[in-house]
Amino acid sequence: MKRLFAVGAFVLVSAFPALAQGTTSWQIDPAHSNAQFTVRHLGISNVQGEFTRVAGSIVLNEQDPTKSSVTATVEMASVDTRNGDRDGDLKSANFFDVPKFPEMTFKSKSISRGADGKLQMTGDLSLHGVTKEVTFAVDGPSDAIKDPWGNQRRGASATAKIHRSDFGITKYPSTVVGEDINITLDVEFTKK
C-alpha cells in the first residue's frame, strides 16, 4: 500500500510540475488593467495616453518571485489620448501602423531583485515589428485577496523607459515628439 501511495504521489507531482514548484497561474483582468505612456511634446509639456485593451498571463512562484514569468499583449488600436485626431495619427503609419502591427507584446526572460529589494523584470518587447530587450521596475505583486465573487486577485505596477527610434518610430524629430517614452503597466490578475 505504501508503495502504491508513493507511486501515485510521484505521478501526481510529475503531471503537475507547477504544483511541485509552488507556482500558481494567473490571468490578467482586462477590465482592471491598462498600459499608460508619457512623451514630451515640443520639449515643453508631457502628453499622456493609454492602451485600454491589455491581456496576458503570469506564472507566479509563490516562494521565489524571481522564478516567475509574464506574458502580455496590448491591442494597439485601443490607444486613447483623449483626442480623436491624435489617436488616428498614432494608429497610422506615422507611428504605430496598427493595420500592419496590431499588437505590442512582452515576454519576460528573467526576474531579479534590485538593490532596493523591488523586482526587475527583463524581457522581449515587440512593437512596430521590432523586438528589443526592456527591463521593467515592478511594484508588487500584491498579496492575494478574495474579491466579493470568490475570485483570488493580485495586482502589480511596472514601469520602463524606451526610445521610440529603437522600434523604428521616427516620423517626427525629437524636438516635436520626444525620443523617450515612459511606460507604466497597471495590472490586476485573477487566479486561473
- Note whether residue 8 is domain-resident: no
Query: Which pLDDT band, with edges at 50, 70 and 90, does 10 fall under?
Result: very low
- Note whether residue 14 is domain-resident: no
- Note whether residue 112 is domain-resident: yes
- Note whether residue 139 is domain-resident: yes
- Note whether residue 118 is domain-resident: yes
Convert the pLDDT of each residue in 131-189 to its tens digit: 999 999 999 899 999 999 999 999 999 999 999 999 999 989 888 999 999 999 999 99
Convert the pLDDT of each residue in 82-120 to its tens digit: 999 999 999 999 999 999 999 999 999 999 998 888 999
- Note whether residue 154 is domain-resident: yes
Give buried/exposed letters for 118-148 (b at 16+ CB in 10 A, else e): ebbbebebbbbeeeeebbbebebbeebeeee
Residue pair 131/124 in contact (Cβ under 8 Å)? The answer is yes
Domain region containing 34: 22-191
Number of domains in the chain: 1
Lowest mean pLDDT among 7-21, 55-69, 107-121: 7-21
- CATH number of the domain within which 106 lies: 2.40.128.110
Count of positions (residues) in the chain: 192
- Note whether residue 79 is domain-resident: yes
pLDDT at 1: 42
In the predicted model, is pLDDT for residue 12 greater than 70?
no
Query: Which pLDDT band, with edges at 50, 70 and 90, does 66 fall under?
Result: very high
- Note whether residue 15 is domain-resident: no
pLDDT at 21: 60
Q: Give pTM, 2 decimals.
A: 0.84
- 514630451: which residue's cell? 40
In the predicted model, is pLDDT for residue 3 greater than 50?
no
Query: Which pLDDT band, with edges at 50, 70 and 90, does 43 fall under?
Result: confident
